[in-house]
Structure 1
Amino acid sequence: MPWEDHEIFELQAVAAPANLTVALEAPPLEEQLAAMTKEEVTFLRERCGVEENKTLTWFHHCTEPDYPHAANLGYSWQAEFRSYQIWTHPAIKKYKYMMWFDSDARLGAKWEIDPIKTMIENDLTLMYAQFPYGNMQSREIGTKLMNVYNMSICYVGNGGTSIYGKFCQEQMASINQIGGMHHITNLDVYRKDIHQQFLKAFTGDYRFSRKSDDQIAVTTVALMEEFLQNGKKNDVPTKKVTWHERSNNMTLKICHHRKFDGAERCPANKNNFFHQLKESVQGLEERCGALY
């Protein structure tokens, strides 16, 4: 749902003097459907079990080939957008770095370090809070990696302060992924032609594919960039382009799914979260105490 103008103005007033912009990520579903071919829409309706005389909505749950779960259309669009379209979106085209937070993530501390400065000083592609956060094994993705990079990923290791890939050919891709609730990315890297070629293929041969998980997309491009920057050597990289935040002295305390940075317990209830936080953040009680 688009925000009302007065809601945007209120948010900008709170964020001032920072320059805050509210942007829609894409046209409404109706416009996206209108831009698709009849065959594409028919296939989508079949996946979602919605007859032609019924209205498709973001809340319809849809299946897809070679994926065991039904996912609502809105979540499938989110996966597609965050995997591919976001990197070249007009709202961020002038920026080099992006700091991502899920809408249900909360900050649990005032930061004493600037993670963007760390990204710049160390010429990183990806900083992340959580690893591992699930695994994907797929011959289809292995083939798509081979088609673009002439190499696939058969293992993702934890180097303590960073992740690294083990690369193979003509094998099933096996990728342990970072947690997608928060990451910082170098947009210039993800916009490179070779990575855009892969991401376009990764999101599938049809619209609104949930199996094209954005956490896998973000992880894979960083690993392949590291592979390229290290002369395509299949060893633990000497030039690291990924950093784990806590292992590199950055404890940002981002609360998500009851964990700070995926490492320690945080309150799930927002009231309990606020009461735990207010003692350590100056002025929070005065500004927000009446709300809780």
Structure 2
Amino acid sequence: GKAAMSAEPRAHIRHDGVVVVSKIHDPNHLPTALSIVQAMCLFTAAYNHRMGYPVTVFTTRPVQVGTGGERFEAMLKHATHPADLHVASDTQGQSLHEHIHGLSQMQKARLLHRCNVSAIEELDWKSKCRGTNDAVQIGYGWQAEFRGRQIWTHPAMAKYKYMLWLDADAFCSAPWQQDPVDTMVRNGLVLLFDNMQGHAKRPPELARVMQDAFGSAVCSVSMHRGQLVASTGCDDRQTRSVALVHGFFHLTDLDFY
């Protein structure tokens, strides 16, 4: 459902099993750290000071003493008060090289080819690799991988039912008159979002992967009266892109995904 389609304003009701989630790559990088601190401060003022939903912030790089990063968690805790705060590793403590070594031989070979290197040790988070579009840094590719796949089974999410995702640069500009979590729960939604913007190119193998996993492939996605509608039954030659829900703010049913 679309956030703008939610019901008339009503008293905010706190629900169990809800977590607020965001992610940054490097807490030692001051502009990044300050961005998420500001985002969480505004979110607290707009909504969460009333609800007190716990907050989990994922980071890829660990905090390094002497970089200013050790102040990150203290600043974030102040910005999210009175909510409980948990800072977690999105790689579950693995280095980039350890994570790559855990891939299959085919996956490793494909990654090395796309990154134009001959050995894993040549790669770091800033290495640029070719995807279906332009080359992007591994760190950026990893955040997409984490948000789209890894987060659903991350141990930090295990005890929660609903996730409210807020990008590190998504800044609330006014108090929330409507309660998106209550709308999500009351209507039994699996996805509540605020915007649907742009299209993503489909790699040639995507139709086959969807067909193998679900028995059909999504050809296109549209929105009708606040609901997502998918068409199926085409082959990859018919559709080269799919409309996307904008990821800066959304709520999801973690059990469903």
2:97–2:120 CA contact under 8 A, matched in 1: no
Deviation string for 1:66-98 (max 9, x for gaps)? Answer: x24111111111121111111111111111111
- Written as runs of structure 1 = structure 2, the 5 A alignment for 1:157-172 is 157-170=222-235, 172=238
2:216–2:233 CA contact under 8 A, matched in 1: yes
- For residues 53 and 86 of structure 1, the distance between their equivalents in structure 2, rounded to whole angstroms, comes to 24
- For residues 140 and 42 of structure 1, the distance between their equivalents in structure 2, rounded to whole angstroms, comes to 17
- For residues 140 and 151 of structure 2, the distance between their equivalents in structure 1, rounded to whole angstroms, comes to 15
> Which stretch of the first structure deviates more once superposed, 24-33 or 82-91?
24-33
- For residues 135 and 230 of structure 2, the distance between their equivalents in structure 1, rounded to whole angstroms, comes to 30
Secondary structure of 1:94's counterpart equals coil
Q: Which residue of 2 aligns with 1:94?
A: 159
Report percent identity of matched pairs. 32
> Which stretch of the first structure deviates more once superposed, 123-132 or 47-56?
47-56
Deviation string for 1:29-64 (max 9, x for gaps)? Answer: 132134346665454333223354963111111124
Deviation string for 1:176-220 (max 9, x for gaps)? Answer: 111112211111110xxxxxxxxxxxxxxxxxxxxxxxxxxxxxx
In structure 1, runs of 5+ residues without a counterpart are: 191-292
Instruction: Indicate how the Cα distance of structure 1 residues 46 and 166 shifts in structure 2: closer, same or farther if over 3 A, else same.
Output: closer
- For residues 183 and 165 of structure 1, the distance between their equivalents in structure 2, rounded to whole angstroms, comes to 19
Say which one has the larger Rg.
Answer: 1
1:87–1:187 CA contact under 8 A, matched in 2: yes
Select 2:217's aligned residue among 147, 152, 155: 152
Q: Which residue of 1 aligns with 2:193?
A: 128
2:112–2:120 CA contact under 8 A, matched in 1: no
In structure 2, runs of 5+ residues without a counterpart are: 1-60, 64-68
Q: Which residue of 2 aligns with 1:35?
A: 102
- For residues 46 and 15 of structure 1, the distance between their equivalents in structure 2, rounded to whole angstroms, comes to 42
Secondary structure of 1:133's counterpart equals strand
CA drift at 1:10:
3.8
2:191–2:253 CA contact under 8 A, matched in 1: yes
Are 1:76 and 2:136 counterparts?
no
- For residues 235 and 207 of structure 2, the distance between their equivalents in structure 1, rounded to whole angstroms, comes to 7
Are 1:57 and 2:117 counterparts?
no
CA RMSD of aligned residues (A): 2.5
Query: Aligned residue pairs: how many?
Result: 188
- For residues 15 and 82 of structure 1, the distance between their equivalents in structure 2, rounded to whole angstroms, comes to 22
Secondary structure of 1:69's counterpart equals coil
- Written as runs of structure 1 = structure 2, the 5 A alignment for 1:229-244 is none
Secondary structure of 1:23's counterpart equals strand
- Written as runs of structure 1 = structure 2, the 5 A alignment for 1:89-238 is 89-170=154-235, 172=238, 174-190=241-257
- For residues 160 and 74 of structure 1, the distance between their equivalents in structure 2, rounded to whole angstroms, comes to 36
- For residues 146 and 38 of structure 1, the distance between their equivalents in structure 2, rounded to whole angstroms, comes to 24
> Which stretch of the first structure deviates more once superposed, 35-44 or 87-96?
35-44
- For residues 71 and 212 of structure 2, the distance between their equivalents in structure 1, rounded to whole angstroms, comes to 49
Q: With structure 1 as the length reference, what TM-score do the two structures score?
A: 0.57
- For residues 144 and 33 of structure 1, the distance between their equivalents in structure 2, rounded to whole angstroms, comes to 21
- For residues 206 and 215 of structure 2, the distance between their equivalents in structure 1, rounded to whole angstroms, comes to 12
CA drift at 1:139:
4.7
Q: Which residue of 2 aligns with 1:85?
A: 150
2:97–2:121 CA contact under 8 A, matched in 1: no
Secondary structure of 2:135's counterpart equals strand
